[in-house]
Amino acid sequence: MLHQSDLSKLAKNAGISGIGEVVFKILGYITTIIITRTVGPAVFGVFNLANTIISTAKIFSSAGLGQGLLRFVAFYKGRADIPRLKGAVIFATRVSLFLSLLFGAVIFYLSDLIAVRFFHNPDVGFAIKILMISLPFLTLGELWLKSIQSFQIIKYQVYTQKIYQPIVRLISLVVLFLLGLKLGGILAASIISAVAGFFLAFYYLSNISPIYKKIPAPVYEKKEILNFSIPLFLTQFMDFIILSINILMLGYFMTAADVGIYTAAANLGLLVALPLISFNNIFAPMISEFYGRNEIDKLEDLFKIVTKWILTISLPVFLIFILFARPIMGIFGESFIAGALALIIFGAGQLINAGTGSVGLILEMTGRPKINLLNSIALCVINIILSYLLIPQYGIIGAAFATGLSIAAVNSLRLIEVYYFLRMHPFRLDYLKPCIAGFLSFLLVYFAVHEFARLSLPGISLLLLFFVALYALFIFFLKLEKEDEYILKLFYQKLISFKNGIKGN
């Protein structure tokens, strides 16, 4: 059985992460709205094509070492093996710095060729060259934040990636737009944000760990770390391709404006998986610890609790997208309403991702990264084939369907594998409660939406709030478990203290 200390650690850190994700998304959407309403979908599409290339380079630069540190630092910390803990972080930092400079130079040299031959747009080449400046800062900043996360301290990662960096980017963007810069302003704001995150991550890591102290001397387990991290790198790359191949293919077959509309829809669709991301941030090192202590029953109990909470929060977000897809996409501008159906399709794939819980992490953190790699390779191939077949004919709808189906399939496969290898699954009877509450709430609001087809923005906002209130009411009537009440109480306490925590840093 789980102790309250385990639930407390999970709830408090997931609460921090969840609040941070919400703030991050709000700031991100404000930034996106400012960009799209200032420069339109075409320039927004150019930026996102270049950003996809940089994100690809970042995956190669990190070489899976961030995920590797998430396991090894937690493992060495559990054994109080400070020399090996230091060695792991220092070794990963050196390798990632070298690779970021190497891949940055190569892609900078090839940027014009990529832009003209593949995207048929020379502006993309300019954007790639400028954004490439941020690559070492992005790579090392994220690596150090993963190291901090492995100490099961989430707040510094949240403060840096979810609050401070987006605020810096937003302020920089507004100033640069006021100075008359368009695409150049978007690129410069992204670089400034990356540099800020780099220095903050270094500062926090130095404060919480003995990494940069001379004593004790580091011990380097290079082979063991690389053997674990390389399959994770390949898995990350395949997962990234699953999410981004449609953006690249839209850039090839369609226009930069189509890329901009689809990117806005996909970014919104990721809101459905936001609870999964929030819980995974703290659940990953806990999986490693429980599995290392052979406490499989505790791990399974926590797996079920986490999955139910993820679904409970994710489901109403997806249902809201079905009900209000057009007005939600219209926030970015009239031309973005064309992405409403893509938002629903992409969100459906993310709902299955959320509803199956942390199955990918379970496989990774219990020492089966190669299984995840094989899953990702198979689904990457499926996504590429579907994107190639559907995008030329159906555009952004085809892209959303290809990605949504790929995400749903890979997580269904991982669910089967977790049961096969560990004889555990994330489902229990009270998993049905959010499904029943969501179904009833959806039906009531759906009829209201169609009865008043031409609602104003205030009317839509009232219906949205009505839906959320109905869902919460049905959840309450279906009764909360004791563990749910305990977690809610901890979430509330963390919400109260969160503002003070930001002020104190």
Residues 168-217: tens digit of each pLDDT: 999 999 999 999 899 999 999 999 999 999 999 888 888 877 666 666 77
Give the torsion sign (CA, 381, 382, 386, 387): negative
Query: What DSSP state is assigned to residue 210?
Result: -
Concatenating the DSSP letter of every residue in 274-285 gives HHHHHHHHHHHH
Lowest model confidence (mean pLDDT) among 126-135, 449-458, 488-497: 488-497
Q: Residue 80, exposed/middle/buried by CB under 10 A (0-12, 13-18, 19+)?
A: exposed
123 with 183: CB under 8 angstroms?
yes
Query: What DSSP state is assigned to residue 89?
Result: H
How distant, in Å, are the alpha carbons of 39, 45, 76 from that of 91?
42, 37, 15
User: Could you tell me which residues come within 8 angstroms of residue 169 by beta carbon, excluding any fewer than 6 positions away?
Assistant: 31, 189, 190, 192, 193
What's the mean pLDDT in 298-318?
A: 87
13 with 281: CB under 8 angstroms?
yes
Which pLDDT belongs to residue 109? 92
Lowest model confidence (mean pLDDT) among 6-10, 275-279, 410-414, 429-433: 6-10
Concatenating the DSSP letter of every residue in 331-400 gives TT-GGGGGGHHHHHHHHHHHHHHHHT-SHHHHHHHTT-HHHHHHHHHHHHHHHHHHHHHHHHHHTHHHHH
Q: Is the pLDDT of residue 90 over 80?
A: yes
296 with 418: CB under 8 angstroms?
no
The encoded tokens of residue 382 equal: 């499926």
The residue among 99, 177, 88, 85 whose CA lies nearest residue 135 is 99
Which pLDDT belongs to residue 184? 92
pTM of the model: 0.72
Give the torsion sign (CA, 229, 235, 241, 244): negative
The encoded tokens of residue 91 equal: 């070794």
User: Could you tell me which residues come within 8 angstroms of residue 367 by beta carbon, excluding any fewer than 6 positions away?
Assistant: 291
Structure-token match 């609001």, residue found: 445
User: Could you tell me which residues come within 8 angstroms of residue 208 by beta carbon, excluding any fewer than 6 positions away?
Assistant: 148, 151, 153, 156
The residue among 73, 413, 404 whose CA lies nearest residue 229 is 73
Beta-carbon neighbour count of residue 167 at 10 Å? Answer: 15
Q: In the chain, count H helices and then E strands.
A: 19, 0
Lowest model confidence (mean pLDDT) among 98-112, 188-202, 362-376, 452-466: 452-466
Beta-carbon neighbour count of residue 217 at 10 Å? Answer: 10
How distant, in Å, are the alpha carbons of 55, 60, 90, 254, 389 from that of 247?
12, 19, 35, 10, 14
Residues 259-295: tens digit of each pLDDT: 989 999 998 998 898 888 777 766 766 776 677 777 7
Share of the chain above pLDDT 70, in %: 85
Which pLDDT belongs to residue 197? 92
Residues 320-354: tens digit of each pLDDT: 999 989 888 988 888 899 999 999 999 999 999 99
Which pLDDT belongs to residue 498? 46
Residues 4-33: tens digit of each pLDDT: 565 565 555 555 666 677 787 888 889 988
d(CA 233, CA 423): 27
Considering only residues 402 and 452, tell me which one the structure prediction assigns the higher pLDDT: 402
